[in-house]
Amino acid sequence: MTKEALKPATAPETVVKDDQPRALFDCNKCPAFCCSIYDRVRVTKRDVNRLAKHFNVPYEVALRRYTKDHDGERVLKRVPDHIFPKTCMFLDQHTRRCTIYTARPAPCREYPNRSRCAYFDLLQFERQQQGQDSIMPVIELTFRKVGRVKVDGQDGPEKRWTWGEVE
């Protein structure tokens, strides 16, 4: 045998290319906006089965214990929070981390479904603008009907967004 044959195989060098997707957010530095500002996290039978298996309870028990009906939609239950009005019942309010991470429902698994998280970007922006890492912007999602109306502008008629009833 040659000396070359006796050398241990080396692992191929890892190459990072610019076209590889990267996560441009850090959930460890976020107060769990995604767990707190949405009124409902829709769950499917598959999600409830995953919760049942995680907690070693029957499907019916998981359905009753961890979800509720919201206008005909099955959603995770929420609880009062010390930062936001309410949050997901599975959020550890001290660490701001998910307590069922491996069993979390599909919407949580998929979020944010891109390399950036708008809430993390807002958090970083506000902290940089204020010069303080302890700044916590308050975010609230409000669903209203919006429309466009024509108004007389300085340079002639223009369309603007309006909240509430649109004529």
Residues 57 and 111: their CA atoms lie apart, in Å, by 27
**Where are the chain's structural domains?**
23-136
Q: Evaluate if residue 112 carries a pLDDT over 80.
A: yes
Is there a contact between 101 and 108 (Cβ–Cβ < 8 Å)? no
Residues 97 and 42: their CA atoms lie apart, in Å, by 19
Query: According to the model, what pLDDT value does residue 166 have?
Result: 47
Nearest to 148 by CA among 135, 159, 132: 159
Alpha-carbon distances, residue 116 vs 6, 52, 112 (angstroms): 47, 31, 7
Structure tokens that stand for 44 in this block: 């499917």
Determine the residue type at 95. Answer: T
The pLDDT tens digits of the residues spanning 27-49 come to 888 888 888 888 889 999 999 99
For the chain, the distance separating the N- and C-terminal CA atoms, rounded to the nearest angstrom, is: 88
What's the whole-model pTM score? Answer: 0.68
Mean pLDDT of 151-158: 84
